[in-house]
Amino acid sequence: MKTIRLKDHKEKAVLRRHPWVFSGAIGHIDPGIEDGEIISVRDFRGARLGCGYYNSRTQIAVRMLSFGDWEIADTYLRELVCAAAARRAGNPLLGDTDSYRLIFSEGDFLPGLIVDSYAGHLVLQCLTLGMERLKKTMVTILQEELNPASIYERSDHEGRALEGLPPAQGQLLGETPAEIVMNEAGMSFYVNVGAGQKTGFFLDQRDNRALVRGLARGRRVLNLFSYTGGFSVAAALGGAASIVSVDSSADALELAKKNMELNRVTAPCGFVRADIFPYLRDGAIDADLVILDPPALAKNRASVDRACRGYKDLHLQLARRCPAGTTVLTCSCSRFIGMDLFQMVVFEAFADAGRKASIIGRHGQPCDHPVSIFCPETEYLKAMLLQVE
């Protein structure tokens, strides 16, 4: 196995099991190392720190797969997959759903790999070159250990371009239905894993859907960036007086309508195709429960300032137009914007609008999207529940 050595005093993060080695920390690279190759990582004096895969194209030059003397053999990767599956299978917080994130990249010690399970059908994403080179091995392990109904690949994330990879999508095992029906806490949803956002559904909003369901009784609900209507269905089954779903995608709204029909929703429902930014600027809000769940506005550190301006504009228009007494669930899935910054942006928007609001809840990602205690960067989803005066 070829080796890289770190510069002097650059080993502390790896010794603390952080899985990323940045290019600036590397002092020596053995000749002939290929991008994506698994290599041994050693400190300045030659002591072994662990193994990871290398990519000269990226700022994160090495993503660690093991620490200490563990070798990256099939048996080791199999143990990681089985451990991730066991954590989900034995978790009572997932007892009322048949769909969840099975493997969450660094959160499950398999950087670059995402696997979601929808009613026994797996959807896989390889986000890095190193994991792309391990893909056949991982598919074999998933097949042999979990016996899924099918495996479909959705490795079309834009971050693959930074790794020197083209997008990849298609069937890897079995036959995945065009639309899978998943179940969650008495709700059912159609999932299109081939054309939907992410892997087809926002599994990471499960806990917040339950929150909305508990808040919705008798309320007029406005679901902004509604996608396929997950929050809308939750609000309807929670007893909402009416629900309006707004999204820019006609296909997403059609699937939202189908999800309402699937759940036999009887409350009045409206579906509006619109860009949310002008939608909020153009009129009053006739709702007293608003869900604001935009896509990630900051996809990298360079875009944080622009993303904050976008978040502020959304909240400013909302603050200017929502009635007194409105409850707002506002979310950000931008990893590069932490909760403190997100809260500051929302505060500035309400201050500029001259409106009072209180934070009555803070929420994050669910248990199947674990935050590694060694890698706090795995925390990306944050949500605040606001009460507007």
- Give the catalytic positions in this structure: 333
For residues 336 and 298, is the Cβ–Cβ distance under 8 A?
Answer: yes
Q: Please provide the DSSP assignment of 117-133 as one string.
A: EETTEEEEEE-SHHHHH
Distances (CA, A) of 77 to 60, 74, 210: 21, 5, 34
The whole-angstrom distance between residue 109's C-alpha and the CA centroid of its chain comes to: 16
Task: Taking the CA atoms of 351, 352, 354 and 357 in sequence, report the sign of the dihedral they define.
Answer: negative
- Are 107 and 369 in contact by the 8 Å Cβ rule? The answer is yes
Q: In one letter, which amino acid is 376?
A: P
Among 18, 90, 85, 23, residue whose Cα is nearest residue 54: 23
Q: How far is it, in rounded angstroms, from Cα 153 to Cα 146? A: 16
Strands ordered across the beta sheet of 121-126:
99-104, 113-118, 121-126, 150-155, 168-174
